[in-house]
A and B are shown apart, each in its own frame.
Chain A
Amino acid sequence: MKVNEVPQDNTLKYYEGIKRACYAINDEGKYVIVASNGWNAEEFINGLAVHELAVNLEKTRKAVFEGVKSPLAYHMERRQMIPDILGKTAGIAAFRVKRHCRPEIFAKLKDSVLDRYADALAITREELKTVPQK
């Protein structure tokens, strides 16, 4: 990659102002670091992954309103966690985390357990019990 071939597609929204370091060859044939402000191909691929996460999160949010899943499932997914990671962080066995994703079981949880989840997810206990309307 030559210095003038380093992509500068100016995907500002995507990089939010940060720049990426790329190695490229200058006119004298030496490698230098060039700051790139975005590449369309990369932005597109990253966009797919971000979009997928957002779609799944939205599905879970709707499932909570339909009473299929508990708010815990939503907040876990919002933090991009899986029961295994959340269980380790909160100090609760993964199979219990999975059970707590069912609304009827989540509703009976003690405050002490809720607090552990809230701590692990960096939200308050009140936030944990609800999901955003929109």
Chain B
Amino acid sequence: MKTEEIEKINFPGKEPEKISRKGKVLLITSEITSGGRPFVHHHAAHCESGVTSALFRDKGLEISEPMIFGIGSGIFFGHLPFVKFVGLPISTYRCQPGAIFRKAAKRLGGKFVTQHFRNPRKGMDEMRRVLNTGQIVGLTTNIYWLSYFPNRFRFQFNGHNIIVLREIENGFRVSDPVLDKPVDCLTEDLIRARFARGPLEPKGFMYYPVSVNHNPDLRTACIKGMLDTCNMMLRIPLPIFGIRGIRYRAKKIITFDKTHGFEEACRQLGMIVRMQEEVGTGGAGFRYMYAAFLQEAAELFGSSELDELSREMTAIGDIWREFAVVSARVIKKRFKQEETFAKAGGLMLICAGREEELFKNLRIVAGNLKS
């Protein structure tokens, strides 16, 4: 029986449907893995946390994307002047690729297999073998070669994560958490994407859980994740990471047009906003997703302080959004008088101040929580 027929029989309605789970409205789509088990595709904001939570869910541990993001200490800020992308320095709003999966897996417990490959053929053969055992596989890929993406989002970036569900005729059925439904990917594309060269080479990285801990100590994991995040944001003694990084960048932005000239300043500012909004962040450079995590943690611990912090994080996220809007206007050269680089940088400074306050409070609150 062809794969399409199986789909028709099992899942007559292929369009995403809205279901309500624990009071949350989620966009989901039903799929089927090579083992014949149903797989539920969840629309996620970020690729790595989306993939990780889907892998856990597939093994029977129901866990949401923000929870993985928080436990894996995903939120961060770093300005990397020496890592250039299309000639522009990168400002990142998240920790390094791979860290969310690594940390979440360690803190939640379970048996995971991670593999790198030098030889593309061996890498693909091993992936097929694992798929045939009915397992779904997480992959790290280069986003440029994934042709199912709109052209405008395709650029040479080696840190995109996807899940392969099963093999189909000359390709694979792929669940990309950033998209709202599963898609097909050609074999040739996938080989190129997995074995792309350049900075942060994926080297055919693939990972999957063999078994997961079905009763993880969520409370301890959450506390560890929060404290780790606070340390990363507050205690790295370098001016380009964490809160110091935001301040450093904000001060640069204020004098951007004088130091770089208007054209170049616009390119750099545009880059910051792109990293904040475009690269699958759930809005405001992951700040909303972290607020969602804090909210879930507040329910878990029954802590009103965490709930308060979640609301504060949402407010900070709103300022980040405003920063994006102001930046876009600065570049558009509209409203010449009010919207300047100084205003954009000023908004970022406000973010830095409030985030510093928030993470200091979070460190105290998390330290007092009982696991």
A contact set with B: CB distance below 8 Å: 1, 6, 14-16, 18-26, 28, 30-33, 35, 39-42, 44-46, 48-50, 52-53, 79-81, 84-85, 88-89, 122
Of A22, A30, A50, the residue contacting B152 (CB under 8 A) is A50
Give Cα A88–Cα B26 distance, bound, in whole angstroms: 42
Binds A, one of B110-118, B213-221, B324-332: B324-332
Contact, CB under 8 Å: A22 / B267 = no
Q: Which residue of A lies closest to B153 (CB)?
A: A46
Distance of A19 Cα from B328 Cα, bound (Å): 21
B328-A33 in contact (CB<8A): no
A32 and B25 in contact, given A1-B283, A1-B288 (Cβ under 8 angstroms): yes
Give residues in B with beta carbon < 8 Å to A.
Answer: 23-27, 43-45, 65-66, 86, 144, 149-150, 152-156, 178-180, 188, 192, 196-198, 266-267, 270-271, 273-274, 277-278, 280, 282-284, 288-289, 291-292, 295-296, 314, 317-318, 321, 324-325, 327-328, 331-332
Sample of 7 A–B contacts (CB below 8 Å): A1-B314, A21-B43, A33-B25, A42-B324, A52-B86, A80-B144, A80-B155
Find out whether the CB atom of A35 lies under 8 angstroms from the CB atom of B288. no
Nearest chain A CB to B160's CB is how many angstroms away? Answer: 14
Residues in B with CB closer than 8 Å to A45 are 270, 273-274, 277-278, 324, 327-328, 331
- Output the nearest chain B residue to A122 by Cβ-Cβ distance: B192
Q: Which residue of chain B has the shortest Cβ distance to A48 in the bound complex?
A: B270
Q: Are B198 and A35 in contact (CB under 8 A)?
A: no
In the bound complex, do residue B23 and residue A28 qualify as a contact, i.e. CB atoms below 8 Å apart?
yes
For A28, the chain B residues whose CB sits under 8 A away are 23
A15 CA to B179 CA in the complex, in Å?
A: 11
A52 touches B267 (CB 8 A): yes
Closest CB in chain B relative to A36 CB, distance in Å: 8
Q: Is the CB of A31 within 8 A of B317?
A: no
Chain A residues within 8 Å of B192, by CB: 122
A19→B273 CA distance, assembly (Å): 19
Residues of B within 8 A of A26 (CB): 25
Q: Is the interface of A mostly helix, strand, loop or mixed?
A: mixed
Number of A-B contacts (CB under 8 A): 131
CB <8 Å contact, A23 and B283: yes
Contact B288 A32 (CB under 8 A): no
- Complex: how many Å from CA A30 to CA B27? 16
Task: Please name all residues of chain B whose beta carbon is closer than 8 Å to the beta carbon of A24 when the two chains form the complex.
Answer: 283, 288
Residue B24 contacts which of A6, A19, A32, A50 (CB distance < 8 angstroms)?
A32
Contact B179 A18 (CB under 8 A): yes
Residues of B contacting A18 in the complex (Cβ-Cβ under 8 angstroms)? 149-150, 179-180
In the complex formed, the residue of B with least CB distance to A50 is B152
CB atoms of B23 and A30 under 8 A apart? yes
Known: A21-B44, A28-B23. Contact between A80 and B288, CB under 8 A? no
Inter-chain contact A21/B45, CB cutoff 8 Å: yes
Given contacts A18-B179, A30-B24, A85-B198, contact A1 B317 (CB under 8 A): yes
A89 to B153, CA, bound (A): 21
Q: Which residues of A contact B25 (CB under 8 A)?
A: 26, 32-33
User: CA–CA, A84 to B84, complex, Å?
Assistant: 13
B191 CB to nearest A CB, Å:
11
Having A33-B26, A42-B273, one finds 10 other A-B pairs with CB under 8 Å, namely: A1-B314, A6-B283, A19-B180, A23-B66, A23-B292, A35-B27, A41-B328, A45-B277, A80-B155, A89-B198
A19–B153 Cα distance when bound, in Å, is: 13
Q: Given A25-B314, A31-B295, A50-B152, A42–B289 Cβ distance below 8 Å?
A: no
CA distance A40 to B277 in the complex (A): 12
Say how far A69's CB is from chain B's closest CB, in angstroms.
18
Q: Are B332 and A44 in contact (CB under 8 A)?
A: yes
